[in-house]
Structure 1
Amino acid sequence: MRFELRVPLARGAGDAAVTPLRVAEAEARAAGATLEHSAARTVLAAAQAYWNYAGQLQREAITLAGERRGAALLEELRKLVDADEIPRADLQLAQASLSERRSARFAAQQGVLEARRTLGRVLGLDTPALLALGPPADGFPQPPAREGDAPSLQDAAEATARRADVQALRDRRAAAQLRIQAAQDVGRPRLDLVLGATRNSLGEGARATDLGATFHRGAPPGGTVGVLYQRPLGADNTAQGLLRQQLALAEGLDAELRELADSIESAVVAAEFGVRRAAGQLREAEAAVRTYAAGVENERTKRRLGMATLIDVLAVEDRYNNALLAAVQARADFALAIARLRFESGTLVVAQPGGHEARVDALLHPETG
């Protein structure tokens, strides 16, 4: 009987035996970070669909209110025509304006259906649940009262360190480095210390079950010590090819990591500027709505006094409706800018024990850290 123990001194020595385990651990961490980034993308898509749906509902309400004002104006003009106070030709202008507003309302209703369908698809709702989808529970976020009150939300370098996709690339790079070390180990010569223990005996005519008795009558145990050295006579092209392949993969990951970091830093800066720009645009849009609302009432009063024509009233009404729609778009743009900044800065989804959590408060309050 012979027992042999081989101790690697060159190839396979040290931590080389646990390299596959460490590679698997790094790949597992990378997969987890990739999952977290995918969750953030899903939440961003849901937020975008949600704000689009909220905006379409407000557009529908605005066009419906405009249609009602147009119908009321037409009815008022008909009474004045019957009373011979204004010419009948004015009815044609009011009727044409009412037709335009009805067309806008039809388009807005179609927009609501498409937005509801998109939101339901993102949320994974079936058709009955999609059709039963009600109005949004949360309204659009409010901008700071003044431009100077807009906070600096994120630091670009911190965002890069926090992003899950960056962490996934770093873990993959760590796994690639371990593979490089394994490839370097393959190219090393084999040098093993061989320790052996032997026991020899001969028992003629003995049964197989008499093994113990046979060795008891044999020679005492012996030991051996040896060295095994193996090296290719020429260049080990296989090992060199494997090493170069792993080095090329690592260089590719390094370039990808640098490019992603630069992209994130610029995206965070642009997204923060987008939040500030959208906040300023929203403040101006809401101011325009208030101004045009007062202008509509003034034009109606002036028309009753004979100081303005019906065309003047309809023109200001159209501008008021456009201002309302522009304000809705500005609210949606502001909300979407916040969601984009949260995503780019890595604060939209945070890891929790047992899963991930979407920060809804961060979508509603831009000043939240």
Structure 2
Amino acid sequence: MGEDAAKVHQSPAFQRVHLELAPVLSEKLWTTSDVADFLCSRMNDSEDNVNSILVIHNTKSAARKLYTQLKKEEWVQDQGIQLYHLSTSMCPAHRKDTLDEVRKGLIEHKPIICISTQLIEAGVDISFQCVLRSLAGLDSIAQAAGRCNRHGEVESRNVYVFRSAEENLSRLKEIEAAGAVTCRLLREVQRDPQRFGGNLLSQEAMRQYFEYVYYQLDNSQGLDYLLKDKGTLYELLDRNRKNKDYYRNKHGHQPDLYWAPAWATAEEHFEVISNSTRSVLVPYHDEAGKSEADRVIADLNGADRPEKLGELLREAQQYVVNLYEYEWQELSQGGYLHPLLHGNCWVLLEQAYSKNYGIDLKGEGAETSFAGA
């Protein structure tokens, strides 16, 4: 099994990209202007012959800022470059339509720059001639590399890793920590260029990366799953000492069971994915100005039968965006949220949804209104 895996990582499919580490090794923090200048140089490099570039940022704000900057660049307009933006601030239907447009442009060999968050790294079959990835975990960088020269259109293409000056990772500690582990591996490769066979995307490098990540998590109790006022999930499913002590203090003796895991308490508090967001239905219109979302919203407003309501809620999933609490509060204070179904469903007003960015916290979506809307 190990030998087979090693052969896979040594196959041509894993050699179709070259990981260019000079930007990240320089330790320079790239501003939005730095990234824009670099994109200009790549799109105008006659030797590389690059016609399509994907840029992946860790945060929605950094991706949006770069997209906004590029929209103003004369060289982008002069060369007729098609710009696209992707983030989870856009509902699934919006993202799908955008990806369909990008794929169509790539097939037609049109000049394209797509700025995205990490949502494009998994489950998206798409291929660019060049990829820029803001520093993150090695697994994310490998996923980003999978969007470059994906089908082996040429022998090899470049994937650049850079440090962003525009990203605030205070709410994304896992990405920040994973990036630090990647830097550790980079330093090791700097000291010994032959380490990992000189390939940071090799199976050996990836195994070492995850060993460092899990060691770091173990030392910080990250694998124990800390619970408020309940100790850790690991303790609840192990000897459950806290509850056994409570039983002894109440009854005057230890419980008869040596192993007494608190299954119900663990189930109550465990979340595979932290549910720290709230959902809102958005008024997305396609490029022709058509809006199934508007129809669903109108039908929900008049739904009077349970079976009809269930069907509409299933349809609505394509037009839902999940908001963090600070986003919800800002939109609420701006008066951009409207309740439906006695407050069990919320709708975003049109001025807070943009065809370019999706959710617009400042309510300036009307300035980039949808065609025909």
TM beyond 0.5:
no
Instruction: With a CA cutoff of 8 Å and minimum separation of 6, indicate the structure with the bigger relative contact order.
Output: 1
Which TM bucket (shorter chain)? under 0.3
Greater C-alpha radius of gyration: 1
Q: Given the two structures, how large is their TM-score scaled by the length of structure 1?
A: 0.18
Q: Given the two structures, how large is their TM-score scaled by the length of structure 2?
A: 0.18
Question: Greater share of strand residues, 1 or 2?
Answer: 2
